[in-house]
Amino acid sequence: MSFSVIISKLLESFVINCEIFAVTLAFALPLGLIIAFGSMSRFKPLSWLTKTIVWIIRGTPLMLQIIVLFYGPGLIWNNNLWGSGYSGRMSACIVAFIINYACYFSEIYRGGIESIAKGQYEAGQVLGMTKTQIFFKVTLLQVVKRIVPPLGNEVITLVKDTSLARVIANKEIIMMAQEYASKGLIWPLFSTAVFFLVAVGLLTLLLNWVEKKLSYFK
Amino acid sequence: MPVLEVKNLQKSFDSLEVLKDIGFSLEKGETIAIIGSSGSGKTTLLRCLNFLERPDRGQILINNGIIFDAADPRTQRESEIRKKRLHFGLVFQSFNLFPQYTVLQNVKLASELLAKERPDYKKNKKRILEEIDRKARFDLSQMGLDSKLDYYPHQLSGGQQQRVAIARALSLSPDVLCFDEPTSALDPELTGEVLRVIRALAEKRTTMIIVTHEMAFARDVADRVIFMDGGVIVEQGSPHEVLENPKEERTKQFLSRFSEQ
């Protein structure tokens, strides 16, 4: 098999990694904020419930969560709600990723929000601002500035975690490369590193750019 | 007729009684300096006036109208408290400027947000925003900050930041401007510039309550000095009476400790 055919096959399967990455981010970033507000709620049952969920999700391997989410409904209720085939396996996988990453993001948001000095809220209050105005006009950008570095870490981890999708037979890049390896061709597996390195390299540039954009204030 | 009247104000934090029956009044154009040692309740008093703390008992009146009565929950609705805060401006010890906004934006932000609630905002938007801009620039020039309008807070000295904070507190034209130890977070060489602008405000008859440890400043600027200790007003009167000829033993003790330093 020619080099270019293998590379294009790998590229094709890397689209799955990219898809998981993009959809997870798109949903986990806002969901994380909702979870963060839940865990900071003054209504105790809600904050306990949220904190317990975050503990369970952060306390167990993502690989296990993907497996349980995909096979669980079928085994427990005898009902495979994900449907069969590619789209079912992909949906289950992406939902597991979204829940998992939203929990990590929520803790980063919570830390960021709680790190804003009380004086910022009070200054807004004595100037007659509403709570919503204080959040959007005063604290939000300060929170964003503080959470970009830890969020960047998680985002980069997510790029590489996408290869866990293979545990329920989503043919992402490493699974594809291993098929060649089992046929005795080892270099495609090693070459997958390049795909991840390029993706992470681009993200690092983007994150640096965002950090620089926010460096005009302290 | 007094602008502000405070009656029987009490505030406890858990079992700690911080304010015990505070009462005083303030005339329009008058400057009061509140002195006293740390923990005497001065800051809590200012925070109660600005609705950052809710008093357990007592009343607050502005222009003879009750704006807060601890016994009357109708005066404590969250939506109205926001508007009532606007009777007061507060300058914090630690400035609390908004770091992501320029000096000019810091001063304009609250006015612009409030303007959006005006029924004629859409119709007169341009004129309203120009007015806000003009007032902000005027207040900042009064603070000697014409050349700093586009700076961010972290690019300014502490004294400059505090002057921006004063302009910001003036932006909504409060009835009473409160200062919570405005120079305590500043290096000694920077306190002068802040005290100068506060003195200028006093000369223009701005109604002010100043919590301060600067005795010489209180003597110069205040029309009246209140000495607080243990959550009560121990003594009040002209600066000459309270600072030069205190009647109460506790005032004497406090002042002698100060002159020793």
Q: What is the pLDDT of residue B261?
A: 52
Within chain B, strands assigned E span: 2-13, 16-27, 31-35, 57-62, 65-69, 88-91, 176-180, 208-211, 224-229, 232-237
- What ipTM did this prediction achieve? 0.90
Average pLDDT of the residues in B200-222: 91
Q: Cβ of A128 and B99 within 8 Å?
A: no
Q: Which residue of A has its CA nearest to B107?
A: A127
For A115, half-sphere exposure in the C-beta direction (CA atoms, 13 angstrom radius) is 14
Q: What is the pLDDT of residue A83?
A: 77
The span from the CA of B70 to the CA of A214, in Å, is: 44
Please give the C-alpha separations between residue A156 and each of A20, A100, A153, A167, B96, in angstroms, as whole numbers: 13, 15, 5, 20, 35
| Contact in structure between B1 and B64 (CB atoms under 8 Å) | yes
Q: Give CA B147 to chain center in angstroms.
A: 26
Structural domains present in chain A: 3-217 (1.10.3720.10)
- Give the bridge partners for B88, in sequence order: B176
| Contact in structure between B42 and B57 (CB atoms under 8 Å) | no
Q: Is the pLDDT of residue A77 over 90?
A: no
Instruction: Kindly report which listed range (A81-85, B34-38, B65-69, B250-254) carries the lowest average pLDDT score.
Output: A81-85
Q: Give CA B78 to chain center in angstroms.
A: 21
What confidence category does residue A115 fall into, taking pLDDT thresholds of 50, 70 and 90?
A: very high
Cβ of residue B185 closer than 8 Å to a chain A Cβ: no
Most A CBs within 10 Å: which of B78, B113, B177, as the mutation test of the A interface? B113
Q: Which residue of B has its CA nearest to A136?
A: B113
Phi, psi dihedral angles at B248 (to 5 degrees) = -85, 145
CB atoms under 10 Å from CB of A42, counted, come to 6
Q: pTM for the full model?
A: 0.85
Helices (runs of H) and strands (runs of E) counted in chain A: 9, 0
| C-alpha distance from A119 to closest chain B C-alpha (Å) | 6
Cβ of residue A123 closer than 8 Å to a chain B Cβ: yes
| Contact in structure between A135 and B109 (CB atoms under 8 Å) | no
Q: Is the pLDDT of residue B102 over 70?
A: yes
| Contact in structure between B247 and B235 (CB atoms under 8 Å) | yes
| Contact in structure between B2 and B25 (CB atoms under 8 Å) | yes
Using alpha carbons only, give the angle B60, B63, B65 rounded to the nearest 5 degrees: 55
Q: What is the pLDDT of residue B79?
A: 81
Q: Cβ of B82 and A128 within 8 Å?
A: yes
* Mean pLDDT over each residue of chain A, to the nearest integer: 92
**Quick one: what percent of chain A has pLDDT higher than 70?**
100
Average pLDDT of the residues in A11-28: 94
Average pLDDT of the residues in B9-35: 91
Q: Cβ of B110 and A217 within 8 Å?
A: no
Average pLDDT of the residues in A43-49: 94
- Give the bridge partners for B137, in sequence order: none
Residues of B in contact with A124 (CB under 8 A): 110
What confidence category does residue B260 fall into, taking pLDDT thresholds of 50, 70 and 90?
A: low
CB atoms under 10 Å from CB of B225, counted, come to 26
Q: Cβ of B154 and A218 within 8 Å?
A: yes
List all residues 6 or more positions away from A15 whose beta carbon is below 8 Å from its beta carbon: none
Residues of A in contact with B99 (CB under 8 A): 142, 217-218
